[in-house]
Chains A and B, each alone.
Chain A
Amino acid sequence: MKNYVIIGSSYAGIGAVEAIREHDRFGRITILSREPWDFTYGRPIITYWMGGDKAWDRLWYRPKDHFKRLGVDFRPGVTVAGIDTAGRKVLIENGEPVSYGKLMISTGGTPINPPMEGRELKGIRNLTTLQDAVEIMGWIKKRKVKNVVVLGGGLIGLSAVKGLAPHKAFNMTVVELADRVLVLGLDQEAGGIVGGHLKKQGVVLETQTTIERIAGNKKGEVQEVHLKNGKKIPAELVIIAVGVRPNVEFLKGSGIEIDRGILTDRTMQTNVPGVYAAGDCAQAYEIQSGERRVIAVLPVAYSEGRVAGSNMAGFSRTYKGSLGINSFYLLGLNLMTIGLNIADPAKHEIAVRKDGSAFRKLIFEGNRIVGAILLNDLAGGGFITSLVEAKKELDPETKASLIEGDYLRFVAAKQAHGAAAVRSWRGGKSAPTAVPAPN
């Protein structure tokens, strides 16, 4: 009987478990999780919970008895200290080591905390886990928070804004080092639109600056934030969201190859046989560049986990590669970024369409579509994703129709082809010809 051990119980871990159980119904599976909760939740959901969109009992990513049904030994509240790859053991802080036959590491990311004066004050937090969200909400009640400062205008920072905005009780300031929000996902133009929208919603944006120091009161609680540009902002809560990095420190000395994240091959296996990695901590092949990169988004984590799980169970599968994508709902703004977002004018062709509040930007490289930014009009987003993933050479007509905004022409052409095939199969008889127009 195989003995699987999985570190981490988020998307990648769940993907692996589900894939293993598809192929091996009776192997022994142990999941070690640092989270104290006896259920798994999607990390991005915590801000929706903060905003009151979701009740506590709807936070679970899978039903509560999911692990029991799959026959998994789920061990929450366990911190892994290291891995003994020679002895095939996972070392655990204050506990017995767990031996493994096949191991998957999906430890995700740890928030980056830049050094700053006053970091030890009460009321300064990261926001990546449910624990953080619970403690932030507790702090808001206890301290009667009125002013919130968010350091970092990335996805996590804006998620924090989104989570707190529905309460309509806070003056929020976002401090961002770059010249716009979502600097990794949006170019100047789209970033400007999102920033403008935030300002309209009453969020103060402080770009091209950062926090110099945080001043506290006598009780050691946050009182005021001093920015590098000289401004002083009152704050009772500071959320540090400057990004995450792969959580791989505990692997030092284990012999597992690490660059930024854990390097994996196309089967999600590391350089140590029997040890796999997936999710935000893994550095797997990217679909567009063909290089290995850390891409920390949910579908990537889940599909990497599935691939790793299949291979662990002995069912060979290769990973098609990850694609950096994201979609986001932010205070009435709907946003989708697919593939490459920041175009190089020398290399890429850019097609922009604006229509009221809707904004679409498509980026082409020759006849291939390599990226897109969609704002407020998300129709056809799935087509673009599949075209970017397939790296398909488009014929000029399809390309033109895509630029015009007619996403269905591509499918129509495909279906017309299918229709011709059906017609020939029927013996040349065409479909009924009476064609009333829809609507």
Chain B
Amino acid sequence: MEAGKQAARREVLTGTVFPLTPALPAADAVSTIPLSARQEMVSEMTAEFRRDILVDAASCTGCMDCVEACRKEVAPQHKKWKTPVVPRIEIRKTGGVFVPLLCRNCEEAPCMVYCLTGCRARDASGWVVTDYDRCVGCWMCVMSCPFAAITPVYKEKIARKCDGCTHREVAPCVAACETGALVQSGTETLSLRARRASADRIARDKMAGMAVK
């Protein structure tokens, strides 16, 4: 009885907090997901720390420090191409305002939707990155980007875009910006941390139960 109650309570919990399946798939069901994949999904959903580079155009003075920093950062990647290094951030002046053009890492990113080859995908860090080996230069993403953040490189037939530099703690362009026009932030907040801890705990419980079965 006690155990049943506990299980029911857990069901309620799992139902409200995290949509884990109420019952294991039947034996004939083919879409049983291996445990490791489940764990991966949980971590994908919860271990969310998405980098955002915010732009405060009012503060941009057009000093081009960020562009130079980006050029330096991406130069090693460009060894395999013959064309000169193209920085992934651009500053243009128009109508008396400086407009920094860089990837805003959209939620349902149009460049991912439009990509012909599937070379543009969101990686584990949450940034939309490009596999340049698979890019064929169809220019679909160039046509899709409402921020003009994708540069077509006609000669190499690739579409270049900011990779977020998620391997670095602070993106070089942000580090170089002295006026505060570029600000790095993440969506990790206190409430997200709390929810993540709770979901992790529940998922662990559930998985432990499954392993015994």
Contact = CB atoms under 8 A, between A and B. Distances in A.
Interface stretch (A57-65, A167-175, A282-290, A343-351): A57-65
A73 B31 contact: yes
Contacts of B96: 412, 416
Max chain A Cβ within 10 angstroms of own Cβ: one of B31, B99, B134, B144: B31
B60 to A, nearest CB: 8
B155 to A, nearest CB: 10
Contacts of A120: none
Contacts of B173: none
A45 B144 CA distance: 19
B133 A58 contact: yes
A27 interface: yes
A191 to B, nearest CB: 19
A53 B56 CA distance: 40
Interface stretch (B20-28, B69-77, B80-88, B184-192): B20-28
B165 interface: no
A435 B62 contact: yes
B143 interface: yes
A139 interface: no
Given A44-B138, A334-B139, A415 B150 contact: no
B207 interface: no
B32 interface: yes
A1 B143 contact: no
B148 A411 contact: yes
A30 B30 contact: yes
Contacts of B211: none
Given A336-B139, A412-B95, A419-B57, A407 B146 contact: no
Interface in A1-29: 1, 23-29
B179 A431 contact: yes
The bracket for how many chain A residues form the interface is 35 or more
Contacts of B41: 25
B49 interface: no
Contact of B118 (A62, A406, A412): A62
Contacts of B98: 435, 438
A250 interface: no
Contacts of B117: 42, 45, 54, 58, 61
A299 B61 contact: no
Interface residues of B, number: 59
A4 B64 CA distance: 52
B202 interface: no
Contact of A385 (B19, B143, B179): B143
A24 B56 CA distance: 38
Given A416-B95, A431-B59, A438-B62, A29 B31 contact: yes
Contacts of B60: 431
B103 to A, nearest CB: 12
A409 interface: yes
B31 A298 contact: no
Contact of B148 (A30, A327, A382): A382
Interface in A129-171: none
Nearest to B32: A71
A72 interface: yes
B136 A45 contact: yes
Max chain A Cβ within 10 angstroms of own Cβ: one of B94, B147, B150: B94
A77 to B, nearest CB: 16
Interface in B6-47: 19-21, 23, 25, 29-33, 37-38, 40-41
Nearest to B45: A25
Given A1-B25, A306-B113, 12 more contacts: A25-B19, A26-B33, A28-B30, A53-B157, A298-B114, A327-B138, A378-B142, A381-B143, A415-B99, A419-B56, A432-B179, A436-B62
18 contacts: A26-B21, A28-B29, A58-B117, A62-B118, A71-B32, A73-B31, A298-B114, A298-B116, A328-B138, A329-B136, A329-B138, A385-B143, A412-B96, A418-B57, A419-B57, A419-B58, A420-B58, A422-B59
Q: Which 3 A-B pairs have the closest CB atoms?
A: A419-B58, A26-B21, A382-B145
